[in-house]
Chains A and B, each alone.
Chain A
Amino acid sequence: MPLEGYRVDDRLVHGQVVVGWGQPLDLAFLVVVDDALAESPWEQELYKMAAPPELQVSFRTVSDAAAQHAGWASDARPGLLLTADVDTMARLVRQVPAIRRVTLGGLHAAPGRKERLTYVFLDPADHDRLQSLASEGVEIVAQDVPGTRPAPLAEWIGS
């Protein structure tokens, strides 16, 4: 099994990802796709510190991730791809048609965002981006931890 999922989570590498998902999925690698992080060695070290030594964490820009996606997809080890926001994931999906499912794992309260689920708050732009992705055939679900049911977009996106 190559990449186990494509997760949008504004905390990126943190307990829920490393422990909650990492252990049951036996993740061997995380790919963090973020244009700014890919240029910040200090932030990269901070996130790497949050991961156990056996979990490889790499940081890529959207364009680099699109170019390298086929390699991760064919990797024999299980991995997870993370972005901190919907816009970054949407840009990646449009460059990598093989991505057919995106999971919203955590987008928290911020000015201009409306609560859709307890762990998903969207501003109007993200709302439209998700609906646009869904209309293009990408399955969008929300699921914060493994023990919960993946909630389809239609159940919580609202108007």
Chain B
Amino acid sequence: MTSNRPRAVLAGHADVAHGLVSAVQVIAGRGDRFVPLSNAGHGADTLLAALRALVADEGAQVIFTDLPAGSATLAARRLQREQPTLTVVAGVNLAALLEFAMQDAPDAAAAVDKGRAAMLAWPGGTGAA
């Protein structure tokens, strides 16, 4: 399934963005809603330039990043300062991306809610029967 909607950029460490896009494609067939960018090999300046070029090429209005403390997030925030209409979402997970991919109209806040709700923990016990 393809869409005329501008793709969002997904940027992160090593291959995480490509892996997440691949997972969205396998699960929902909508990997084309995202364009992945790796920070590998980039310094701060070149990563910002790469992100700026991708956003321009895609007409993207949303940038997802993996780690709030990561260089991709810093680059996204710098680009947002240049282009204040951009939305930046850090700490993204697969559930958030799936929600975003399935939306008819982009709603990053709803995707964030879905991603937060998908983080669950079941603490282990002592191991005793």
Contact = CB atoms under 8 A, between A and B. Distances in A.
Interface stretch (A45-53, A94-102, A146-154): A45-53
Contacts of A10: 43-45
Given A15-B71, A19-B69, A46 B78 contact: yes
Contacts of A110: 43, 45-46
Given A46-B74, A46-B78, A109-B41, A51 B69 contact: yes
A18 B69 contact: yes
Contacts of B78: 46
Interface in A1-57: 10-15, 18-19, 42, 46-47, 49-52
Given A46-B74, A46-B77, A50-B73, A84 B67 contact: no
Contacts of A42: 81
Nearest to A85: B43
B74 A47 contact: yes
Contacts of B71: 11, 14-15
A18 B77 CA distance: 18
Interface residues of A, number: 22
A10 B48 CA distance: 13
Interface in B58-93: 67-71, 73-74, 77-78, 81
Contacts of B46: 108-110
A65 interface: no
B13 interface: yes
A130 interface: no
Ranked 7 nearest A-B pairs via Cβ: A108-B43, A10-B43, A50-B69, A14-B71, A15-B70, A18-B69, A11-B71
